[in-house]
Amino acid sequence: EIVMTQSPATLSASPGERATLSCRASQSVSSNLAWYQQKPGQAPRLLFYGASTRATGIPARFSGSGSGTEFTLTISSLQSADFAVYYCQHHSNWPPTFGPGTKVEIK
């Protein structure tokens, strides 16, 4: 089973600031990496898959990059709606495991 890790655990930032979230896989997953956003009491929302393919309806301020074992989710200018928990997940094989999440909170 591939182990996913994320850093930082918590990111404190102000609206308008740039946020950079990291995700690492214990072995190469090629570009088979997805990102999700989750708000309290809600189901996760798909942001990216294939490391950098934006899901339907995701704003351009979000971008995804990376390959192999190192991946990054960048939010260019934080909006109030972006404060949430973000999970990465590999989709290379079964089981598709998730990282522990990064909480983006208002500073």
Partner 1 sequence: EVKLVDSGGGLVQPGGSLRLSCAASGLTVSSNYMSWVRQAPGKGLECVSIIYTGGSTSYADSVRGRFTISRDNSKNTVYLQMNSLRAEDTAVYFCARGLGSDWVFDYWGQGTLVTVSS
Does the footprint of partner 1 cover residue 97 (CB under 8 A)?
Answer: yes
Alpha carbon of residue 38 to chain centroid? 10
**Is residue 91 at the binding interface for partner 1, with CB under 8 A as the rule?**
yes
86 binds partner 1 (CB under 8 A): no
Say how far apart CA 30 and CA 44 lie, in whole Å: 23
Residue 69 token pair? 């074992």
Shortest distance (Å) from residue 16 CB to partner 1? 29
Which parts of 10-69 interact with partner 1 (CB under 8 A)? 34, 36, 43-46, 49, 55-56
Q: What separation, in Å, do the N-terminal and C-terminal C-alpha atoms of the chain show?
A: 36
Task: Compare residues 56 and 80 and give the one whose CB is closer to partner 1.
Answer: 56
Q: Is 98 in the site for partner 1 (CB under 8 A)?
A: yes
**Interacting residues of 104 by C-beta distance below 8 A, sequence separation 6+:** 11, 13, 19, 21, 75, 78, 82, 83, 84, 85, 86
Binding region for partner 1 (CB under 8 A): 1, 34, 36, 43-46, 49, 55-56, 87, 89, 91, 93-101
